[in-house]
Amino acid sequence: MIAHVFPGQGSQYVGMAKEFAEAFPAAKAKMQEADELLHVHLSRTMFEGPEEVLRQTDYTQPAIFLHSIIAIECDEERNSAQALAGHSLGEYTALCVAGAITFRDALTLVHTRGLLMAEAGRRSTGTMAAIIGMDEQKLSALCKDVEANHDSIVRPANLNSPGQIVISGATFGVQEVMRRAKLEGVRIAKELPVSGAFHSPLMQYAADGLSERLASTNILQPSVPVFSNVTAEPVESPSDIRRLLIEQLTAPVRWEQSVKNMYEFGVREFVEYGPGKVLQGLISRTLNDVKTSGVEKPKQVAA
């Protein structure tokens, strides 16, 4: 069985998807449609930058979504998937590919999501950090201890692969967990260049705003099982999809468990569509007997 997976924020780079636009008229048309729908120069920013603009969440999120959608639509050799999943904003890509949300609605949602997350970051300042070399149970206990004793929110945010977890929360809480984790001998405790404490309670403003937008968005049952970030299980009903997309903003991304659950479901091959190879790396570190590959550029270019 095959799963198609879609990356989240952090995979963007100047020049992304440019080869698709040059090789496929349909890709160029899709990008023009996105520019017109969002009333921004999204495609030009993707192709030319500047990088500091592309890093802004209201550009980053639709850019990665658009790249992934174009990559899968232009892959003439793709095989049918029996499961879909996306990391954070990539979940919207998965739902779009599954036919649960239209391209235009999904693009509008991820753009709105980026704006709301940026505003939430301004209203409730915080940060994120990668912790490499500590298991989930021990790191969760450390976060709870710091939060309880210092009244500073800090939570596991991205449970990416064995021993690779991103924490998120108030700046003091995150830095205190980093300090204590280093004392306990973790290999890496590195603060990330982000504009907010994503996937933590500090994103509640964004969750409230997105709830209003999702309430008016038509959502259908997915044609292919889509594994939710929040539960790591397939989500089917439109009401559950809405609820979990809202919860996703303040809850951890359970990527490692999603990958394991897709394996239990029968998946033995994972294909990542979109910029970068982050998910291929995480999957390979989680499972040692599966095939991973990616479609980031047109295959005649990638070759």
**What confidence tens digit (pLDDT) does each residue in 126-137 have?**
999 999 999 999
Catalytic residue among 67, 111, 199, 228: 199
The reply to whether 196 falls in a domain is no
The reply to whether 106 falls in a domain is yes
Q: Which of 191, 217, 238 is the last residue of a domain?
A: 191
The SS3 assignment for 191 reads strand
Active-site annotation holds for 88? yes
Helix (H) or strand (E) holding 154: strand 154-161
- Residue 118 and residue 162 share a domain: no
pLDDT of residue 43: 96
Q: Which domain holds residue 235?
A: 2-122+201-302
Number of domains in the chain: 2
Which residues partner with 292 through β-bridges? Answer: 270
Catalytic residue among 43, 88, 152, 161: 88
Structure tokens at 104: 């235009």
Structure tokens at 268: 């033995």
- Residue 44 and residue 23 share a domain: yes
**How many angstroms from the chain centroid is the CA of residue 220?**
21
Active-site annotation holds for 87? no
When pLDDT is cut at 50, 70 and 90, the band that residue 195 belongs to is confident
Question: Measuring CA to CA, which residue among 39, 41, 62, 37 is closest to residue 50?
Answer: 41
Do residues 107 and 34 make contact, with C-beta atoms less than 8 angstroms apart? yes
- Cα 142 to Cα 131: distance, rounded to the nearest angstrom: 12
Q: Provide the Cα torsion 109, 115, 119, 121; round to 10°.
A: 90
- Residue 118 and residue 130 share a domain: no
> pTM, whole model, 2 decimals?
0.95
We report the CATH number of the domain holding residue 57 as 3.40.366.10
- Residue 48 and residue 83 share a domain: yes
The reply to whether 37 falls in a domain is yes
- Residue 166 and residue 297 share a domain: no
- Residue 185 and residue 221 share a domain: no
- Cα 9 to Cα 11: distance, rounded to the nearest angstrom: 6
- Residue 100 and residue 82 share a domain: yes
Quick: pLDDT tens for 40-72.
999 999 999 999 999 999 999 999 999 999 999
Share of the chain above pLDDT 90, in %: 96
